[in-house]
Amino acid sequence: MTHSTKELHLQSVSELASTLHNKKASAVEVAQHFLQRIQADKMGAFLDVNADATLAQAQASDARLAVGTGGCLEGVPIAHKDVFVTRDFITTAGSKMLANYRSPFDATVVQKLASGVNGQSGAGMVTLGKLNCDEFAMGSGNENSAFHPVRNPWDASRVPGGSSGGSAAAVAARLTPAATGTDTGGSIRQPASFCGITGIKPTYGRASRYGMIAYASSLDQAGPMARSAEDCALLLSAMCGPDLDRDSTSLDVATENFSAKLTQSVKGLRIGIPKEFFGDGLASDVRSAIVAALKTLESQGAQLVPISLPRTELSIPVYYIIAPAEASSNLSRFDGVKFGHRAKDYTDLVSMYKQTRAEGFGEEVKRRIMTGAYVLSHGYYDAYYLQAQKIRRMIAEDFQQAFTQCDVIAGPVAPSVAWTLGHNASDPLADYLADIFTLPASLAGLPGMSIPVGFGDAHMPVGMQLIGNYLQEATLLNVAHQFQLATDFHMQSPQGGAAL
Amino acid sequence: MSKLVQGYEVVIGFETHAQLSTQSKIFSRASTAFGAEPNTQACAVDLALPGTLPVMNVGAVERAIEFGLAVNAHIAERSVFARKNYFYPDLPKGYQISQFEIPVVQGGEVSFFLEEGKETVRKTVRLVRAHLEEDAGKSLHEDFVGQSGIDLNRAGTPLLEIVTEPDMRSSDEAVAYAKELHKIVTWIGICDGNMQEGSFRCDANVSVRKPGAELGTRREIKNLNSFKFMQQAIDYEVRWQIEQIEDGHAIEQATVLFDPETGETRAMRTKEDAADYRYFPDPDLPPLCVARDWVERVKSDMAELPRVMAERFVTQYKLPEYDATTLTQSKAMAAYFETAAQVCEQPKLASNWVMGEVSRRLNTSDSGFDSIAVSATQLGALIVRIHDNTISNNAAKDVFDALWNNHAPASTDKATALQQVDAVIDAKGLKQMNDSGALEAIIDEVLAANPDNVAQYRAGKDKAFNALVGQAMKASKGKANPAQVNEMLKKKLS
């Protein structure tokens, strides 16, 4: 096979799986190769690496490969966003609050991708380490990490997107063939778009939230980030599935073999184009890349259908009420009593709480806790939280209306390409507004993905968003794969990454 | 008719936390057993470790359904868990998961009898709701010098909070309600009822008002963990509130604690301190859906409820309602009665004995109906001998005593039990005099010896007749049948 001659870090997930399966390289060799690249990383993508733990996992993979009992991705490396708790690595969620926190258990998604859950065998992947992110997944530039920002491999002066910025940058820079991310309001799709990789957020409830440090429980969803739809299909098949004993919001729906459903042509596929996604707020470089991509799909036989998602703009206030409300409560457990940071100087219980939380949380987290506490307060709850829930249901209904006219929806992921570090520092609202195209699918609980469709200003990557109806991940991956068969945007790597 | 205290009407409502008898916690799999070493029964979920999520314990829901059925309440097809947000070290998540706007049990009522003067009246207390929630851990302020310890073993223990309307009008009614509620939850087995261990904790909302006035401002007495303290605390609180009002002070809404040492209540916090709990539906738990067939399944698996059993006692055994309710105080008492009644076929006599002599004996000893020295079959046999006039009711008490103190095994077989009873009657010579010839001789002697009484009776004084009956009974050494003596005396004197 030709791919076995490729350098290991240039191989895709599926290529590495066959390299390992065919014993062209051992899992330990593969792990060592990536660990060396990670060591040389200057983008700040990783927060914790633990070579001993990684190599021990790789040795276990080699042992399984030797006797032929390996999982479908046995020995292939992966790295996890730091909101997934892990036994072998410190888990911080990008916060000083958890600077040295080690979990006594692995998240369900981590288990499924590695050795498995409850005796059921997993995919057999080897964990390279933990990936930087915005503190408690709050942010869209990865500048809210309590430790250090992540830089975009395409241009180190720019952000990689967020909150799964470390995941996107690490995949783009070929520091890992794949990563997990979490998406609450766009945190997989937007950094995938900014870094020129492929990422998918499945239907809410598809992947277990057990072991994912909660930001906004009704929105948080795990998903894979890799270079291609083909790789994402392999990873998503391994990540999904019911976890009813541990997560009450987990859907009782068996996972699918998404890889087997990539080959269908897009001929006759109706792609809905929401007019609200192409308004004045959309930068012209992004617009042209998206329009070109839609033309490609059209030339492959798809049919473009104009649709409307009339409450798109409302998704911003709705999201920035509901998510902070849930966050304000989810983050109450970080009080210095049981684990994590505790202030050194305090006089009584209340001062311990105040000092601990003042020191442990960053600016954006505090801002959202305060917003959330406010909208849930007596006298404001009905006007804010309840009203937001009502509009949230209407937004979901708008999508159902749209899906009577089309099979998938396509549009931009973000209004612009990646911005420069510090650009929005004095204006948190600017960050919020940039979430406009990813929030609607999050609020509706629909699957959404981002695929690279070209380059905009300063040769920065542009991602196109695909949104499907509930449980239609296979359709999204199929469309994305068909597009990637006809294009090579997903194959291009940044100079920073290729040079290493 | 409510009883006024110094011209004030007392108004009481209850909130009771019944700890549900599940093996594991309401949202985790850690054990709920009482008394383990601190923090040995708290798993990752109970400790609120990052990434953990709650999963509903179906057993807790089933117990809530059982309770709802027991008090004739509506079981909501869809109820919602909310988060009650506040910071406290023994509340690991920083919020308590509790049903707020939509509870699983809605409405219902609890009925009981209580003595009012010489009358026995039936009282019904309406329930507002009963909802599922998790308990917090415990803060240990006295075990460490200058520090507080936290024990999270109790964190996540399932509770059913049962809330009444303000329907009680005295501490007697309040205690009777609490006892009845305690009976219901232990009868259906959803709670062990252990008040010392905190399995059944009552909070009483107490206010007073002039009759016909609007409800007064209430103060809530927290954590009443014995019926005795409950009564003392409410009585003290009522007196205190009346005194305040009489002295021209307004009552301020407050939460108070009862101190058994001083017998007083004292305020913990007032309304000004009331926190904003920022309730909202818990996004980690979908609405709790209880389908009708689930309710039906629980219903068919449930033992006969006290209320239903009492109704059956009224129709099947023709007992007065009071008897039926009293006999269904506990499963063991009801079973004891039913066995005795079936053996003797005299339900009312059996009821009188069980509520009277038998309960009296149990109250003065350490035993209960499940470990009683005289078997229900023996009691039935004893009543057979009363009914067939072998012995008088008074003599039967002596027989009962003898059986109680007899160390021979109490029979549960009717024939053997009758033999045991007869043996005692013979040994003690308690057999009633049913020979009319012998009785006639005694009566003649009595009439001859008491000419004054005879004369008085003839002059219209009924008391004199009773004196003659007494003399005749005495002369027969208690063995005469009083009814027969009556009859014969009347005949002779007519």
From residue A185, alpha-carbon distances to A211, A213, A221, A249, A324 in Å are 19, 15, 10, 18, 12
- Told to judge if A164 belongs to the known catalytic residues of this protein, a careful annotator would answer no
Whether residue A59 is contained in a domain is answered as yes
Residue B162 exposed, middle or buried by CB count within 10 Å (0-12, 13-18, 19+): buried
A248 touches chain B (CB under 8 A): yes
Q: Report the chain A residue with the minimal C-alpha distance to residue B97.
A: A329
Residues 18-57 on A with a CB inside 8 Å of B are none
pLDDT tens by residue, B232-260: 999 999 999 999 999 999 999 999 999 99
What pLDDT sits at residue B454? 87
| Joined tokens for residue B384 | 């057979």
Q: How far is B219 from chain A (nearest CA, A)?
A: 22
Q: Does B278 contact chain A (CB < 8 Å)? A: yes
Identify the CATH number of the domain in which residue A155 sits: 3.90.1300.10
Please list every residue in chain B whose beta carbon sits closer than 8 Å to the beta carbon of residue A331: 94
Give the tokens for residue B317: 């055994």
Range of the domain at A259: 2-265+473-499
**Is A121 within 8 Å of chain B by CB?**
no
A259/chain B closest Cα distance in angstroms: 29
Q: Determine the residue among B97, B271, B277, B280 to mutate to test chain A binding: the one whose Cβ has the most chain A Cβ atoms within 10 Å.
A: B280
Tokens found for residue A469: 């109806």
The CATH class, in words, for B436-493 is mainly alpha
Give tens-digit pLDDT for B380-435: 999 999 998 888 888 899 999 999 988 677 788 999 999 999 999 988 887 877 77
Burial class (CB in 10 A: 0-12, 13-18, 19+), A50: middle
Tokens of B360: 């009296």
Q: Which of A12, A26, A61, A81 is catalytic?
A: A81
- Asked if the C-beta of B283 comes within 8 angstroms of chain A's C-beta atoms, the answer is yes
Q: Please say whether the beta carbons of B17 and B195 come within 8 A.
A: no
Residue A385 belongs to a domain = no
The confidence score (pLDDT) of residue A423 equals: 87
**Residue A102: half-sphere exposure toward Cβ, Cα within 13 Å:** 6
Binary contact (A246, B55; C-beta < 8 A)? yes
State how far the Cα of A188 lies from the Cα of A167, in Å rounded to an integer: 9
Look at residue A186 and tell me if it is in a domain.
yes
What is the total residue count of chain B? 494
Q: Would you say A53 and A110 are in contact if contact means Cβ atoms under 8 Å apart?
A: no
Q: Look at residue A380 and tell me if it is in a domain.
A: no
A217 in B contact zone (CB under 8 Å):
yes
Residue A171 inside a domain? The answer is yes
Mean pLDDT, residues B110-135 taken together? 92
CB contacts of A373 in chain B (<8 Å) are: 278
For residues A230 and B2, what is the distance between their CA atoms, to the nearest angstrom?
78
User: How many domains, chain A?
Assistant: 1
Which position has the token pair 């007495």? Answer: B221
> With an 8 Å Cβ cutoff, are B87 and A353 in contact?
yes
Report, as an integer, the average pLDDT of B429-448: 81
Facing B95 at nearest CB: one of A98, A329, A353 = A329
What does the alpha-carbon distance between residue A109 and residue B227 come to, in Å, rounded to a whole number?
52
Kindly report, residue by residue over B257-269, the tens digit of the pLDDT. Answer: 999 999 999 988 7
Please count the residues of chain A: 500
* pLDDT value of residue A2: 44
- How does strand A461-468 pair with strand A408-412? antiparallel
Angle at A92 between CA A88 and CA A97, to 5 degrees: 135
Measured distance CA(A41)–CA(A160) in Å, rounded: 14
Q: Does B284 touch chain A (CB under 8 A)?
A: yes
Catalytic residue among A140, A163, A237, A315: A163
Rg value, chain B, Cα: 29
Q: What is the DSSP string of A345-357?
A: --SSHHHHHHHHH
Residue A163 bears catalytic tag: yes
Contact B51 A247 (CB under 8 A): no
Tell me the pLDDT of chain A (500 aa) as tens digits. 444 568 999 999 999 999 999 999 999 999 999 999 999 999 999 999 999 999 999 999 999 999 999 999 999 999 999 999 999 999 999 999 999 999 999 999 999 999 889 888 899 999 999 999 999 999 999 999 999 999 999 999 999 999 999 999 999 999 999 999 999 999 999 999 999 999 999 999 999 999 999 999 999 999 999 999 999 999 999 999 999 999 999 999 999 999 999 999 999 999 999 999 999 999 999 999 999 999 999 999 999 999 999 999 999 999 999 999 999 999 999 999 999 999 999 999 999 999 999 999 999 999 999 999 999 999 999 999 999 999 999 999 999 999 999 999 999 999 999 999 998 777 888 888 899 999 999 999 999 999 999 999 999 999 999 999 999 999 999 999 999 999 999 999 997 444 44
Q: How far apart, in Å, are the Cα atoms of B49 and each of A317, B148, B281? A: 31, 21, 21
Instruction: State the Cα–Cα distance between residues B367 and A359, nearest whole angstrom.
Output: 61
Query: pTM to 2 decimals?
Result: 0.90
B89 vs B367, more confident: B89
The end-to-end CA distance of chain A, in Å, is: 25
Mean pLDDT of all residues in B313-320? 96
